[in-house]
Structure 1
Amino acid sequence: MIALSNSYYGNTWRHQMVESFEEAAKQAKQDGKIQDYIIVNGDGTTNQQMSQMADLILRKVDVIAIDAASESALNGTIQKACQAGVKVVAFDSIVSAPCANTLGFDFVQYQGDMAREIAKRLGGKGNIIIVRGVKGSAPDNDMYKGQTEALKEFPGIKTVATVYGQATTSVAQSAVANVLPSLPHVDAVLGQGGGDDFGIAQAFEQYGGAYADKMPIISGGGSSNFIQWWSERNRKDGYSTVSMNTTPGIGGAAFWLAYEMAKGAKPPRTMTMPVAVVDEKNLDEYLKMPPGTIVSPSFSQDWVQKTLLQAPAK
């Protein structure tokens, strides 16, 4: 039996991630590969996730795939799982427990790359807002590190506000709208994805003023609503940006990796997933995405076997 322990279920990205895990699990159960699977979602707190993990250990699941609320706070519980013979793969928001395999994204690298691209588009000068993601999570810390380290290369760029958007459209919109009246003119916004990009755009559109004709450069996080908005602005006034996002399809990859581990596979200790990139060259390819979804390929059992299990050890 394979279990998913998802610490947070409050944004589009996490919903899609859970759906991709469940889709793979249902297929595996239908094909007779697993007896059953369990999915538990949390409220973002480590205490609740520790309690849910303890229950999964008592239920003697074979593997727990965990999207963690904290990089370190769950290590003791994870160690207990390993000692009880339960294998653990931490993905997306990973952990530092030595007995867990990890399947993550290079958050520092890709957010640094996006920050540099936008800084170059600004000519190395201007005011920016940073909209952080899920407070306390490892991805938020890593993405913020990537952004701030990249911006050190551009002393002419000033961060005039830093807010938390919880990787959610409505929260990001409210957070940006609340600080805009007190800020000088904003030239760009660096978000973290999960739908915050469209919320940021909506905040500026509603604020209006100088932004009615010239919107700041907003880093895209792969949401379909933002891509639609971006395409319309591009046709209207040539609006240009770039979008990079972690793919919620990692849920499916995490399931198949857990399945292979349950069968005895010994994957590398650390594995890295690709990110999705959208720019004006491929923007039109994503215009038919359903509203409220995030750009993401799906990852099959075959992909996991060929790409993750045969990846060089790190």
Structure 2
Amino acid sequence: MFRKPLLVAAAAATTALVPLSGTAEELDRLGVAVANLQANFFNQVKLSIESYAAEKGIEVIIVDAKGDSATQVSQVQDLLTQNIDALIYIPAGAAAATVPTRLARAQGIPVINIDRNADGEPGDTFIASDSVASANELCNYMFEQVGGEGKMLIVHGQKGTTPEVDRSKGCTDAMANFPGIEVVGEQYSQIWSQDEGFNITQNMLQAHSDVTLVWGQADALALGAAQAVKVANLPQEIKVFGFDGDTAALEALRDGVFDATSTQRTRYFGELAVDSAIKLVAGEEVPAEQLLPATLTTKENVEPFIENHP
């Protein structure tokens, strides 16, 4: 298939929730390289891409790196031999993240990044939550729940990835307004998993048994942290917070397993990515960043997200 030259994407971000216009006349085959389908968030994005692309008659080829950057590079190399017209790319980690984008561009294939961008080699458009603003809102809420004072543990996501960096910044900015909050322990995870959240939190609680706050930068990490808090059976109340709005986590939030999260528009990300691919293949402009708001979610407002995830 003839590759049209890519247009430079506009710098302005959009928060529109209406799918982009466009037809699938020129986008026949779409490659999708996902970081890790064991994560609920990525699996929801994948399901959305599949169902929406099917509606438009677009063939989709999906590969799962299972959290390994080297595997993902190899998978993308293989995708590029299968006559794909566009690549939806969720980097498996910060290491080697620029390689798939560079390889695709060398063949004139547009790249749509979701959730994570490659530092120094961004895709033609980047679709994600505004994690800085959303984490700032979440952390302000967290700190208010403990009266602006207390010791805190942070279970970070994978070091150097876009959501880890942005969520850390948003929370750090919020902390500037709460001098009574002290971070006494923090550690990075590798694949943002519930098992990691449990093990990391359990270890940190042994060294800091007087904490009142734990923040897992993803819901899986938060669910693991909540389990570790329960097992520790410490005398004080310890509030646990997450981020993502994973389907299982929302039910756990409703049931009081942890205290709050920030729900991303996960299913819409997939639709927006497909529409962006259609536009880019047709040679149309797409914003360089499409950052969407996430919603602070507590037990009080969680039910609509359980019934109909955005």
TM-score range relative to shorter protein: 0.7 to 0.9
Q: Is 1:117 aligned to 2:141, yes or no? A: yes
SS in 2 for 1:73: coil
Q: Find the counterpart in structure 2 of residue 302 from structure 1.
A: none
Q: Distance between the aligned counterparts of 1:78 and 1:8, measured in 2?
A: 18
Q: Find the counterpart in structure 2 of residue 252 from structure 1.
A: 271
Confirm or deny: 8 A CA contact 2:67 2:93 kept in the other structure: no
More helix by share: 1
Q: Is 1:5 aligned to 2:5, yes or no? A: no
1:209-224 correspondence runs (5 A) = 209-211=234-236, 214-219=237-242, 221-224=244-247
The alpha-carbon distance between structure 1 residues 281 and 80, as it changes in their structure 2 partners (threshold 3 A), is same
The alpha-carbon distance between structure 1 residues 85 and 226, as it changes in their structure 2 partners (threshold 3 A), is closer
The alpha-carbon distance between structure 1 residues 159 and 98, as it changes in their structure 2 partners (threshold 3 A), is closer
Q: Distance between the aligned counterparts of 2:303 and 2:106, measured in 1?
A: 50
Q: Is 1:105 aligned to 2:125, yes or no? A: no
Q: Could you tell me how far 1:217 is from its partner in structure 2?
A: 4.5
Confirm or deny: 8 A CA contact 2:202 2:229 kept in the other structure: yes
Q: Is 1:64 aligned to 2:83, yes or no? A: no
Which residue of the other structure, out of 149, 170, 174, is the alignment partner of 1:146?
170
Q: Could you tell me how far 1:134 is from its partner in structure 2?
A: 2.8
Q: Is 1:272 aligned to 2:291, yes or no? A: yes
Which segment is superposed worse, 160-169 or 109-118? 160-169
Matched AA of 1:267: V
Deviations, residues 32-72 of structure 1 (Å, cap 9, x unaligned): xx3x2211110323222222222222223110010113458
Q: Could you tell me how far 1:188 is from its partner in structure 2?
A: 1.0
Deviations, residues 185-221 of structure 1 (Å, cap 9, x unaligned): 111112222422222222111221315xx34253454
The alpha-carbon distance between structure 1 residues 5 and 177, as it changes in their structure 2 partners (threshold 3 A), is same
Which residue of the other structure, out of 183, 187, 206, is the alignment partner of 1:163?
187
The alpha-carbon distance between structure 1 residues 10 and 224, as it changes in their structure 2 partners (threshold 3 A), is closer
Deviations, residues 87-129 of structure 1 (Å, cap 9, x unaligned): 1111111124256222222212211221122112222210011
The alpha-carbon distance between structure 1 residues 65 and 99, as it changes in their structure 2 partners (threshold 3 A), is closer
The alpha-carbon distance between structure 1 residues 152 and 22, as it changes in their structure 2 partners (threshold 3 A), is same
Q: Distance between the aligned counterparts of 1:208 and 1:270, measured in 2?
A: 44
Deviations, residues 136-192 of structure 1 (Å, cap 9, x unaligned): 422112212222232233222111211234432222122212221221311111222
Matched AA of 2:294: V
Q: Could you tell me how far 1:225 is from its partner in structure 2?
A: 4.3
Confirm or deny: 8 A CA contact 2:154 2:183 kept in the other structure: yes
Which residue of the other structure, out of 18, 42, 45, is the alignment partner of 1:14?
42
Confirm or deny: 8 A CA contact 1:64 1:87 kept in the other structure: yes
Query: What is the TM-score of this pair, normalised by structure 1?
Result: 0.78
Q: Find the counterpart in structure 1 of residue 152 from structure 2.
A: 128
Which residue of the other structure, out of 176, 200, 206, is the alignment partner of 1:181?
206
Q: Distance between the aligned counterparts of 2:197 and 2:99, measured in 1?
A: 33
SS in 1 for 2:187: strand
Query: What is the TM-score of this pair, normalised by structure 2?
Result: 0.79
SS in 1 for 2:192: coil
Q: Is 1:296 aligned to 2:288, yes or no? A: no
Q: Is 1:52 aligned to 2:75, yes or no? A: yes
SS in 2 for 1:261: helix
Q: Is 1:28 aligned to 2:33, yes or no? A: no
SS in 1 for 2:266: coil
Matched AA of 1:207: A
Q: Find the counterpart in structure 2 of residue 308 from structure 1.
A: none
Confirm or deny: 8 A CA contact 2:112 2:123 kept in the other structure: no
Q: Distance between the aligned counterparts of 1:37 and 1:284, measured in 2?
A: 32
Q: Find the counterpart in structure 1 of residue 22 from structure 2.
A: none
The alpha-carbon distance between structure 1 residues 14 and 194, as it changes in their structure 2 partners (threshold 3 A), is farther
Give the fraction of aligned pairs with identical amino acids, expressed as a percent: 23
- Structure 1: any 5+ residue segments left out of the alignment? 290-294, 298-314
The alignment of Structure 1 onto Structure 2 pairs a total of residues equal to: 279
SS in 2 for 1:269: strand
The alpha-carbon distance between structure 1 residues 72 and 264, as it changes in their structure 2 partners (threshold 3 A), is farther
Confirm or deny: 8 A CA contact 2:131 2:163 kept in the other structure: yes
- Structure 2: any 5+ residue segments left out of the alignment? 1-28
**Over aligned residue pairs, what C-alpha RMSD do you find?**
2.6
Matched AA of 1:112: N
Confirm or deny: 8 A CA contact 1:135 1:164 kept in the other structure: yes
SS in 2 for 1:22: helix
User: Of the two structures, which has the highest relative contact order with CA contacts closer than 8 Å and spacing of 6 or more?
Assistant: 2
